[in-house]
Amino acid sequence: MAGLAWWAAALPLMPLVLPLAVRTRRTALRLSPAAGACEGLAGAEFSGEALRLLLLGESTVAGVGASCLDFALAGRLALALASRLQRPVAWRALGENGITAGEACERLLPGADARYDLVALVFGVNDTTHFSSSQRWLASMQQLIEHFQASGARVVCTAVPPLQHFTALPWLLRQLLGWRATLLDRQLQALAATAGAGFCAVGLEMQPQYLAIDGYHPSALGYQVWGEHLADWLVAT
């Protein structure tokens, strides 16, 4: 019913929304994915077997908004986990700018055949902006969850980012997409509970300094705060 309510509100606004979306796409500042290797080791000074961590997802996993992956979500989360757990964390970031969860099942899963202790699934922005149906969104996320659970990994889904705070978007787009992101987020939370996966609702308090210059992706500081909050949640649960 909530999805139908969104469409009932959005459809009459499409003559206004579509030109705004086209103009935003044409004029938006486009940042490249972060440089550097897509894997690394945090906490090498600690003894013991390394925790094997995989982040799989969209542009935030690819590190858009940061100079290198060490300063993006993967590197920051691994460093924060190593510090809290007092053990090494061997991390890998498998992300693609603009990818949806359904596309990730086709393009990213074949490259994620190693065994991991912890897998963080970071999706939602592109499924929001691509208007993915609830059925496709949930089926794709379930496939991703079950794929890694089958190999014994702890799987955690991160919350869908709040698009209503993305300053790169015009006000009307922010409101409509933020509403839709909230709907997908609630559906993901329910799916995670049913599938036995974790769901981390911890996100950024959307302060200007937490956004990159494109107004759409986290800044290096945003990634740091996000990674530390996520690590706190993972250790506490």
The model's pLDDT over 193-234, given as tens digits with 9 standing for 90+, comes to 999 999 998 666 667 788 888 778 899 999 999 999 999 999
Q: Is the pTM of this model over 0.85?
A: yes
Out of 3.90.320.10, 1.10.3720.10, 3.10.310.30, 3.40.50.1110, select the CATH number for domain 33-236.
3.40.50.1110
Q: Is 74 in a helix, a strand, or coil?
A: helix
- Residues 20, 173: Cα–Cα separation, whole Å: 8
The model's pLDDT over 95-139, given as tens digits with 9 standing for 90+, comes to 999 999 999 999 999 989 889 999 999 999 999 998 899 999 999
Q: Strand order of the sheet with strand 39-42?
A: 39-42, 89-95, 51-57, 118-122, 154-158, 198-200
Amino acid letter, 201 = A
- Residues 221, 212: Cα–Cα separation, whole Å: 9
For the segment 166-174, the average pLDDT, to the nearest whole number, is 79
pLDDT over 70 at 73, yes or no: yes
Map out the domains of the chain as residue ranges.
33-236
The model's pLDDT over 36-61, given as tens digits with 9 standing for 90+, comes to 899 999 999 999 999 999 999 999 99
Beta bridge partners of 155: 119
- Residues 101, 127: Cα–Cα separation, whole Å: 7
Q: What is the pLDDT of residue 43?
A: 96
Q: What is the pLDDT of residue 205?
A: 64
Could you tell me which residue, 33 or 121, shows the higher pLDDT? 121
Share of the chain above pLDDT 90, in %: 65
Could you tell me which residue, 4 or 167, shows the higher pLDDT? 167
For the segment 174-190, the average pLDDT, to the nearest whole number, is 92
